[in-house]
């Protein structure tokens, strides 16, 4: 009697709940698979949909790139999953990604997860469509013209040089990643948003902490309740917005006549957005400008900080590349005291080092789209309304290039083959592609070139922990923050 009671208790408290949970997971999978379009003969991609409602979001947030690599190894270059509240197809490989990127407005449209849209805002360049996207893109592109970049170079050099000299003065090691993040934050605040140095010094600590909190919770479950990731991200975002609004109001007071008004030798990206908003048919929207400015700050410093850290890492592991960089600077006769766009454009090998770093550690892992209609991709159907994530990091990982595991900047010195397939140029997509290619591509290249020139001419350095473990959240960074010892470089 006691045994039968014990068995009944075990069945009720352990076995039955487990069975019910497994049945619920199976019913969830069946329910979602029924979402396939019966008018399309192609099957859904292989994959799994995870737990009811939350899908595989928690696994992605906890494991990041490890989770994605495991899924790719199990299911191939196209597989289904359920992320951030939506059935999703993840796409890898040059030919597959090419169809997604060139299918903008025809097959797919941009649609980031709900948490990203909520925190960054719906009026940002990455979220708007059609004429609104063209208008915003045109305004920002003016701030990244060659003439504008020429005027940014001295500011970038000033900030980078001051940071590097600070590293050289330290007896202890430098944690490169947080240091570089602060450096790139200051550059973005000055150049993209037009903040004065004294403003940045006054508010830097609070702004950096708020930005860290916002970015940490950018990809979170879309639940806005106290202490949730989304709640914390919005609270940090609101603080950043308040500081940006102060600067916008200051700009409006100083330049009341708008475009062509007195007192501006060049107009930063934030000023370009203000000017564009004034000349547009719609009424001026402070909220829209704040959202766009926050997006600029995210794109202008988070990604460049990730890549600059990777540059220090790869060059620390490959000293022969540092020697060749210095050799190029000597052979080109670059004026190190006053860099210019013309001088930077001559540094071809320096550009190749940046490209190779972006190939191995692209700062943006991928992009989000939504299917506008059901379409076929490499033998599978992508149902209308499903999310589509194209992977940059995985596409680089599977690219058909020689020695892809090695750091070899010289691979980019060769000209593309004339008989290369149309898809081959999508083997390397650190800035995305198609009509949504990153508008700050040239700005990032100039910033990273100035950074490289200053570091290799002033410093020798040693990575104290050797090759670090990398993590992605949301951009790649070394888990140990890359402790490094810098010393003064004395040219031979």
Rounded to an integer, the average pLDDT of 455-471 is: 94
Whether residue 6 lies inside any domain: the answer is no
Alpha-carbon distance of 135 to 125, in angstroms, equals: 9
Tokens of 73: 């190894």
Residues 6+ apart with CB under 8 A from 174: 167, 483, 484, 485, 486
Alpha-carbon distance of 271 to 274, in angstroms, equals: 5
82 lies in which domain range?
35-488
Percent of the chain with pLDDT over 90: 51
Among the listed ranges 58-62, 73-77, 337-341, 483-487, which one has the minimum average pLDDT value? Answer: 58-62
Comparing CA positions, the residue from 185, 432, 488 lying closest to residue 308 is 185
Whether residue 3 lies inside any domain: the answer is no
Cβ–Cβ under 8 Å, residues 151 and 266: yes
Among the listed ranges 9-13, 45-49, 460-464, which one has the minimum average pLDDT value? Answer: 9-13
Whether residue 19 lies inside any domain: the answer is no
Count H helices and E strands in the chain, helices first.
19, 12
| Pairwise pLDDT comparison (9 vs 401), residue with the higher score | 401
Rounded to an integer, the average pLDDT of 304-325 is: 97
pLDDT at 34 over 80: no
Rounded to an integer, the average pLDDT of 104-127 is: 88
* pLDDT for the residue 99: 95
Whether residue 29 lies inside any domain: the answer is no
Rounded to an integer, the average pLDDT of 283-295 is: 84
pLDDT at 455 over 80: yes
How many domains does the chain divide into? 1
* pLDDT for the residue 268: 81
* pLDDT for the residue 95: 95
* pLDDT for the residue 59: 86
Q: What is the tens place of the pLDDT at every residue in 239-248? A: 999 999 988 8
CATH code where residue 454 lies: 1.10.630.10
Residues 6+ apart with CB under 8 A from 454: 157, 160, 161, 164
pLDDT at 307 over 60: yes
* pLDDT for the residue 225: 87
| Pairwise pLDDT comparison (277 vs 193), residue with the higher score | 193
Alpha-carbon distance of 400 to 403, in angstroms, equals: 9
Residue 25 C-beta-side C-alpha neighbours within 13 Å: 12
Q: What is the tens place of the pLDDT at every residue in 261-287? A: 444 445 688 887 788 777 766 667 888
Cα–Cα distance list, 352 to 45, 425, 427, 432, 479 (Å): 37, 16, 16, 18, 26
pLDDT at 453 over 90: yes
* pLDDT for the residue 262: 45
Comparing CA positions, the residue from 92, 84, 133 lying closest to residue 109 is 133
Show the beta-strand stretches assigned E in 96-207: 108-110, 174-175
Helix (H, G, I), strand (E, B) or coil at 77: coil
Whether residue 7 lies inside any domain: the answer is no
Tracing tokens 């045109």 back to the chain, one arrives at 138
* pLDDT for the residue 114: 87
Alpha-carbon distance of 299 to 440, in angstroms, equals: 8
Q: What is the tens place of the pLDDT at every residue in 337-389? A: 889 999 999 999 999 999 999 999 999 989 999 999 999 999 999 999 999 99
Cβ–Cβ under 8 Å, residues 482 and 176: yes
* pLDDT for the residue 88: 95
Comparing CA positions, the residue from 362, 386, 310 lying closest to residue 474 is 362
Q: How confident is the model at residue 256 (pLDDT cuts 50, 70, 90)?
A: low
Instruction: Tell me the residue length of the chain.
Output: 492
Whether residue 252 lies inside any domain: the answer is yes
Helix (H, G, I), strand (E, B) or coil at 196: coil
Helix (H, G, I), strand (E, B) or coil at 472: strand
Rounded to an integer, the average pLDDT of 8-33 is: 58
In whole numbers, what is the pLDDT of the chain averaged over residues? 87
* pLDDT for the residue 263: 45
pLDDT at 2 over 70: no
Whether residue 25 lies inside any domain: the answer is no
* pLDDT for the residue 300: 82
Rounded to an integer, the average pLDDT of 169-192 is: 92
* pLDDT for the residue 29: 55
Q: How confident is the model at residue 60 (pLDDT cuts 50, 70, 90)?
A: confident
Q: How confident is the model at residue 129 (pLDDT cuts 50, 70, 90)?
A: confident
Whether residue 429 lies inside any domain: the answer is yes
Alpha-carbon distance of 234 to 222, in angstroms, equals: 11
């Amino acid at each position: 009697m006691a045994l039968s009671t014990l068995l009944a208790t075990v069945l009720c408290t352990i076995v039955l709940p487990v069975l019910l949970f497994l049945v619920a997971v199976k019913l969830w999978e069946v329910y979602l698979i029924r979402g396939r379009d019966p008018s399309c003969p192609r099957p859904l991609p292989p994959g799994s949909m995870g737990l009811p409602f939350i899908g595989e979001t928690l696994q992605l947030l906890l494991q990041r790139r490890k989770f994605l690599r495991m899924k790719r190894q199990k299911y191939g270059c196209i597989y289904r999953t359920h992320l951030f509240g939506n059935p999703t197809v993840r796409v890898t490989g040059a030919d597959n990604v090419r169809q997604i990127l060139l299918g903008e407005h025809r097959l797919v449209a941009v649609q980031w997860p709900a948490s990203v849209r909520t925190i960054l805002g719906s009026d940002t360049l990455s979220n708007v469509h059609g004429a609104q996207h063209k208008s915003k893109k045109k305004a920002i592109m003016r701030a990244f013209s060659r003439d504008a970049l020429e005027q940014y170079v001295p500011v970038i050099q000033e900030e980078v040089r001051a940071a590097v000299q600070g590293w050289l003065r330290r007896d202890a090691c430098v944690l490169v990643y947080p240091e570089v993040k602060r450096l790139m934050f200051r550059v973005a605040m000055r150049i993209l948003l037009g903040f004065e140095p004294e403003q940045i010094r006054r508010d830097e600590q609070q702004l950096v902490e708020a930005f860290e909190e916002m970015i940490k919770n950018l990809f979170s479950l879309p639940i806005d309740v106290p202490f949730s990731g989304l709640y914390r991200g919005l609270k940090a975002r609101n603080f950043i917005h308040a500081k940006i609004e102060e600067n916008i109001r200051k700009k409006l007071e100083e330049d009341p006549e708008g475009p062509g008004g007195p007192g501006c030798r060049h107009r930063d990206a934030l000023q370009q957005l203000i000017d564009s908003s004034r000349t547009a048919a719609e009424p001026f929207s402070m909220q829209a400008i704040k959202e766009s400015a926050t997006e600029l700050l995210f794109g202008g410093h988070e990604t460049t900080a990730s890549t600059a850290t990777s540059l220090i890492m790869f060059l620390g592991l490959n000293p022969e590349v540092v020697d060749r960089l210095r050799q190029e600077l000597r052979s080109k006769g670059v004026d190190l005291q006053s860099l210019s766009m013309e001088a930077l454009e001559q540094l071809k090998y320096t550009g190749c080092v940046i490209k190779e770093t972006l190939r191995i550690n692209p700062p943006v892992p991928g992009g989000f789209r939504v299917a506008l209609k059901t379409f076929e991709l490499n033998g599978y159907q992508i149902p209308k309304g499903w999310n589509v994530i194209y992977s940059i990091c995985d596409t680089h990982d599977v690219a058909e290039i020689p020695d892809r595991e090695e750091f070899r900047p010289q691979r980019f010195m060769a000209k593309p083959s004339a008989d290369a397939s149309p898809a081959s140029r999508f083997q390397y997509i650190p800035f995305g592609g198609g009509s949504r290619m990153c508008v700050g591509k040239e700005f990032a290249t100039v910033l990273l070139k100035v950074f490289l020139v200053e570091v290799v001419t002033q410093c020798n350095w040693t990575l104290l922990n050797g090759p670090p473990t990398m993590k992605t959240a949301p951009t790649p960074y070394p888990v140990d923050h890359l402790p490094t010892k810098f010393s003064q470089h004395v040219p031979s």
